[in-house]
Amino acid sequence: MVIEAWFLNRAFRLYNLPAINAFLFLLLNLPLRVVSQIGFAETNVNITIAQLQSIEVSHSSVSINMNQASHFITGSSTGVLNDHVRIVSSTAYQVTVQADSQFFFYNGVLSTLPIGSVLLGISSPQGLSGPQPATVVIVSPEVDLPSQPLTIISAASQGLNTSYAMEYKIPAKNAVLYLNRPPGTYSSSITYTLLPQ
């Protein structure tokens, strides 16, 4: 009896071995077949970066009054003009300044009053919004107004909505140049240029 039971048990195991193998095969391969039947899709993400740069002068005209005796001794100025030059730049930049002539115009005619008799005072940048330049070099806090392009600001990084206060002034040492001149308005155009670095 014991031999017969052992033989039957052994025969049952041998008989069911292919069924067990088939079951294990299906069990192990079923997830792979499901995954392979799902498929896939893909897309490309493209980012187009444009160089964004603009410059704006917020005061279209500025005046320095020489209408008091003290002005011809100690000089005069516009006072500080907040947000005078506004910069938007997505990259490092430079700003140059240049007058349209070496001399001021008087009644539409070139005079002998030198443009360099007016100093331009430049402040540190003030952020209006967004990231500000990490490193800004004001080349000189005061420069004589030049008749050739002169770099006055150099920013090693971007400046999104950055403004600079400026002041136009006639210093005491140059006030004497304004004596013995016909009364009236002496004018010149000043151009600020924004350049990428």
DSSP 23-41: HHHHHHHHHHHHHHHH---
Give 135-187 pLDDT, tens digit per residue.
677 777 889 999 999 999 888 876 677 889 999 999 999 999 999 999 999 99
Q: Does the pLDDT value for residue 15 go beyond 70?
A: no
The tokens for 71 are: 């002005």
pLDDT band at residue 128 using 50, 70 and 90 as cut-offs: low
Q: Does the pLDDT value for residue 6 go beyond 50?
A: no
pLDDT band at residue 74 using 50, 70 and 90 as cut-offs: very high
Give 20-45 pLDDT, tens digit per residue.
666 656 556 655 544 556 788 899 99
Q: Does the pLDDT value for residue 14 go beyond 60?
A: no
Average pLDDT in the 42-65 region?
Answer: 92
Tell me how far apart the alpha carbons of residues 167 and 163 are, in angstroms, rounded to a whole number: 13
3-state helix vs strand vs coil in the chain, percent to 5: 25, 40, 35
pLDDT band at residue 54 using 50, 70 and 90 as cut-offs: very high
Average pLDDT in the 76-83 region?
Answer: 95
Q: ∠ CA(34), CA(38), CA(42), 5° rounding?
A: 150
Tell me how far apart the alpha carbons of residues 67 and 27 are, in angstroms, rounded to a whole number: 100
Q: Does the pLDDT value for residue 3 go beyond 90?
A: no
Average pLDDT in the 116-135 region?
Answer: 74
Q: What is the mean pLDDT of the chain?
A: 83
Q: Does the pLDDT value for residue 13 go beyond 70?
A: no
Q: What percent of the chain has pLDDT over 90?
A: 55
